Structure 1
Amino acid sequence: MSASKPRVLVPIADGTEEMEFTIVVDVLRRAGVEVVTAGLDGTRPHRCSRGIAIVPDVPLAEVRGPFDLIVLPGGGEGSVRFERSAELGAVLRAQQAAGGGIAAICAAPSALAAHGIGKGAAMTAHPSVRDAVAAHGQWCEESVVESGTIVTARGPGTAFEFALVLVARLCGDDIAARVRAPMMFED
């Protein structure tokens, strides 16, 4: 945990899963985290997997760290774009080299594998990318998996749990509980 306000980078590409992007950004901001959204293709609206357009804060090319955490939302097409982005790969490798946190949900753990992030770590992901993730790390079936500085989750249905785990890691369990309470989850 950072002594000051935690800072998180959330990249977006065309084809990103909008629920995962929006839930993660929203929950982190509710916790008081500074979230920077960065577009792989600049600040133009990025068309997500279900057709919703999201305008990022900054182009990925202009992102300047440090960040306490980088979070990759999933989505099949968006994750492939993350895999193919040399620029994102460089940002992720710098984050890993600095010992910073990296998280990915749904198909996005395949981008971690493609860029050599978290080799050997326990990971989960959407079943559609199981082979790529299992070849890179230790495959797990849990909804959310924490392995050192790497956090992964399965898909849209786990997005709230994933986001709250990230809040707990960045801000502590008390803040995570305060953010969770008004969301009306059934216990």
Structure 2
Amino acid sequence: MPRLRESAQCGAEGGRAARVRAGVRSPSAWCGPFKHIKMASKRALVILAKGAEEMETVIPVDVMRRAGIKVTVAGLAGKDPVQCSRDVVICPDASLEDAKKEGPYDVVVLPGGNLGAQNLSESAAVKEILKEQENRKGLIAAICAGHYTYSENRVEKDGLILTSRGPGTSFEFALAIVEALNGKEVAAQVKAPLVLKD
């Protein structure tokens, strides 16, 4: 599980405390009773690069995990802590190199953030993963600066490509991924306790 930290140190006890404070580990602490949905697990790869937009990374990870999707947050530059666009530091679950060996994944997610998107676009490894995902007809989801085609729609799905506009659409983006992988009913079950405005 990625850990939100105020520093680049990701020690076991410090990481646990940061997860609890951030509500990542125990959503019931801030939004009432909640159970993760148990079902045949789909798998997601979230590629985390330096300069990624925090909300566009953490919100999809959280929402997908609530839906029972097995999410791997992979650090583009390795397993070291990654500094995001607003100085939040996230510890990846694995390096991209190691995560790739555990594939294939049902969805590959590309968070935005100007520097993060630039780092993703310059990576030969990311290009290879996306090409493989496209060839095997897997879902590719990108948000904000993580993609390049502009649309006024908050979330846009075109075949196996799902895109969204920015931090303010992160929940909709995440729920669209859940719906694409696990169906409308599961997406509705996950959405209900989030108290989102319709």
Structure 1 stretch 25-34 or stretch 57-66: which is displaced more?
Answer: 57-66
Instruction: Indicate the SS of the match to 2:145.
Output: coil
Corresponding residue to 1:99 among 134, 137, 160: 137
Aligned length: 158
Structure 1 stretch 34-43 or stretch 58-67: which is displaced more?
Answer: 58-67
Which consecutive unaligned segments of at least 5 residues does structure 1 have?
111-132, 134-138
Residue 85 of structure 2 aligns with which residue?
49
Corresponding residue to 2:170 among 159, 177, 182: 159
Residue type at the aligned position of 1:144: V
Residue 152 of structure 2 aligns with which residue?
141
Residue 184 of structure 1 aligns with which residue?
195
Separation in structure 2 between the aligned mates of residue 100 and residue 185 of structure 1, nearest angstrom: 28
Residues 58-69 of structure 1: matches in 2 within 5 Å? 58-63=94-99, 64=101, 65-69=103-107
For the aligned residue pairs, the C-alpha RMSD in angstroms reads 1.1
Residues 20-99 of structure 1: matches in 2 within 5 Å? 20-63=56-99, 64=101, 65-99=103-137
Structure 2 residue 56 is the aligned partner of structure 1 residue 17: no
How far 1:140 sits from its partner (Å)? 2.3
Instruction: Indicate the SS of the match to 2:137.
Output: coil
How far 1:4 sits from its partner (Å)? 3.4
Residue type at the aligned position of 1:168: E
Residue type at the aligned position of 2:89: A
Separation in structure 1 between the aligned mates of residue 126 and residue 188 of structure 2, nearest angstrom: 32
How far 1:109 sits from its partner (Å)? 0.5
Separation in structure 2 between the aligned mates of residue 186 and residue 71 of structure 1, nearest angstrom: 24
Identity %: 47
Instruction: Indicate the SS of the match to 2:40.
Output: coil
Residue type at the aligned position of 1:97: N
